[in-house]
Copies of this chain bind each other. A is one copy, B any other.
Amino acid sequence: MSVVVDDELWSAIGDPIRRTMIDLLLADGPGTATSLSRRLPVTRQAVSKHLAVLDRVGLIHAEPAGRERHYQVDEAQLARAVAQLSAVGSTWDARLRRIKRIAEAIERTRTNDEGD
């Protein structure tokens, strides 16, 4: 019945800061906790925790470079996440359409049976 989604993956992209982080990594290429925190309204440590969450679900992965850690989006995993978004969306969309269709059918029946 209900749409099957990976809750871990979904809740990873459920956070607005994490969504923006993914946006930034996609738009500007690989980045570090420090570079991301400069473009976000939270501290580096908060960003670091978010990076850990995204890393844990595999949406991004880190590449140590000297004293820095460059994070970058895992394209395949993000594609999976996108697929889940559209899956939930289209399921709800389909249900909305079905409900509307049924409602219209009932309305038609009522109008025919009882006149106006």
Write the nearest CB–CB distance from A103 to chain B, whole angstroms.
9
Determine chain A's interface SS by DSSP, over half rule.
Answer: helix
Instruction: Please encode chain A, from 49 to 71, with 1 for each CB lying within 8 Å of some chain B CB and 0 for all others.
Output: 00000000000000000000000
Q: Is the CB of B16 within 8 A of A11?
A: yes
Interface residues of A in 67-116 (CB under 8 A from B): 75, 78-79, 81-82, 85-86, 88-89, 91-93, 95-96, 99-100
Are B78 and A82 interface neighbours, CB within 8 A? no
Q: How many residues of A are counted as interface, with CB atoms below 8 angstroms from the partner's CB atoms?
A: 33
Task: Using CB atoms, name the residue of chain B closest to A82.
Answer: B89
Which residues of A are in contact with B by a Cβ distance under 8 Å? 1-3, 5, 7, 10-11, 14-16, 19-20, 22-24, 26-27, 75, 78-79, 81-82, 85-86, 88-89, 91-93, 95-96, 99-100
Could you pull out 14 A-B pairs where Cβ atoms are within 8 angstroms?
A: A1-B27, A2-B27, A3-B23, A5-B19, A7-B16, A10-B14, A14-B14, A26-B92, A75-B100, A78-B92, A79-B96, A82-B92, A86-B86, A86-B89
